[in-house]
Amino acid sequence: MDLNVVILAAGKGTRMKSTLPKVLQPLAKKPLLSHVLEISYDLKATNVVVVYGHGGEAVQSVVEKLHSEHTIAWVEQAEQLGTGHAVKVALPELTAGTQTLILYGDVPLVTEQTLRSFIESTDEEGCGLLTVQLDNPKGYGRIIRNSDNQVEAIVEEKDATDLQRQITEANTGIMLVNTALLQKWLPTLGNSNSQGEYYLTDIVKMARDEHISVQASIVQDPMEVEGVNDKVQLSQLERRYQKKQAENLMRNGAILADASRIDIRGDVAIGEDTFVDVNAVLEGRVRIGKNCQIGPNCTIINSSIGDNSVIHANTVIQDSSLGDTAEIGPFARIRPGTVTESRVKIGNFVETKKSHIDEGSKVNHLTYVGDAEIGKGVNIGAGTITCNYDGVNKHKTVIGDKAFIGSNTSLVAPLNIGEGATIGAGSTVSKDAKENALTVTRAKQITLSDWQRPVKKT
């Protein structure tokens, strides 16, 4: 059956104390709303409607860039008159003959598994509620059940009696309703309550009055339905999210030095028996092979690392692909467009960018390699730079197999270094170097025996 998803995302979020709209606040470096949209797509929703309000232009701009492959229907709730009113303004965008799932842009941790189970257990012609058992349900609407344990109504806390406030089963706000029933009921909602708002929860009583099925499913993990109202709650959900991601990695064979000191900010997969030391940040799409060692304080962004590789401490790898048995760092910066084959070594304080480094080559320390094609078995000495930028355009350096580049060498691109060539230390090479030959550019060394070292004046 087709599925509408309506995401309520109009709140200002005053308690966030931020100029950023609440649904754009970051969790794992993604807007809260993005997490909810991703769940909607995982559920194969055929129609996704976002009800926006405060900061609408910013919300649309940011979210559409992040989810450009999907179509989102945007509906403005110009006045925040309650959840019932918010869903009502979305009615024209809903596909008829379906169910409509109502989610919240500031409730980011609900899982696909929970929602699928909820959908499967709800009568397609009726109404479903996702509820939660809380030791302290202060602020939540209470679930009112009859003597047969059937849901009769939801009472908001401000409208509840003292006895009703003692109920520990609370409303999460997440509902699944036959779309035709929403189209029938929402235009008739009233606002005779302490808030003067149109409560979506009032449709439960309407359903019972018409003898329509109302089913309540209790969520197993209360954190899944926890909302974000301030930055303290945002921090709590961030830690919970990170804990869950770390546990998933460990269940799939990764070894984490400290599961509380790793940040997963995207789609991350780590092979069996790979060890990740503390304070790693893994962002975007990251693939790390088996039996690797990731040192402390490393940042890996949208990159892949082959099996049996060692990434030493304080290394940054971004938009790159590293082959098997790589050894990188410490303090290396692997910039976008770097591709290495197997057994490549890139040492401390080396920076690479938009370069291909073939099997068994070494760039050991204090070197910059940019816009370069480096062959197999090449050794590049300390202090070498590829001078790839002339102030206007970038140029390429090509180094043949088994070439040896001496320390403190400047390779002025465009340039070709032949296979097996040797470049003497301290050279500035601006013309192609022949294969299997020594190329050296160096001023003649002289010694002045009668030279007087300067003396400090008194």
> Could you list the active site residues?
365
Report the C-alpha gap between 306 and 290 in whole angstroms: 8
Q: What is the 3-state secondary structure (H, E, C) of 89-157?
A: HHHHHCCCCCEEEEEECCCCCCCHHHHHHHHHCCCCCCEEEEEEECCCCCCCCEEEECCCCCEEEEECH
Bridge partners (DSSP) of residue 77 are: none
Alpha-carbon torsion (7, 12, 17, 21), positive or negative: positive
User: What is the C-alpha to C-alpha distance for residues 318 and 247, in angstroms, rounded to an integer?
Assistant: 24
Q: Output DSSP code: residue 18.
A: S
What is the rounded distance in angstroms from the CA atom of residue 440 to the CA atom of residue 297?
Answer: 40
- Give DSSP secondary structure letters for 34-45: HHHHHHHHHTT-
DSSP state letter for 457: -
Is 12 within 8 Å of 25 (Cβ atoms)?
no
Q: Which two tokens stand for residue 305?
A: 């690392």
| Site of tokens 């976002």 | 50
Residue 212 phi/psi, 5-degree rounding, is: -100, 140
Number of residues written out for the chain = 458
The tokens for 223 are 């954190």
Parallel/antiparallel/unpaired status of strands 339-340 and 356-357: parallel
Angle at 194 between CA 190 and CA 195, to 5 degrees: 75
CA atoms within 13 A on the CB side of 183: 14
Taking every pair of Cα atoms in the chain, the longest distance, rounded to a whole number of angstroms, is 111
Is the peptide bond preceding residue 330 cis, with omega within 30 degrees of 0? Answer: yes
- CB atoms closer than 10 angstroms to residue 238: 18
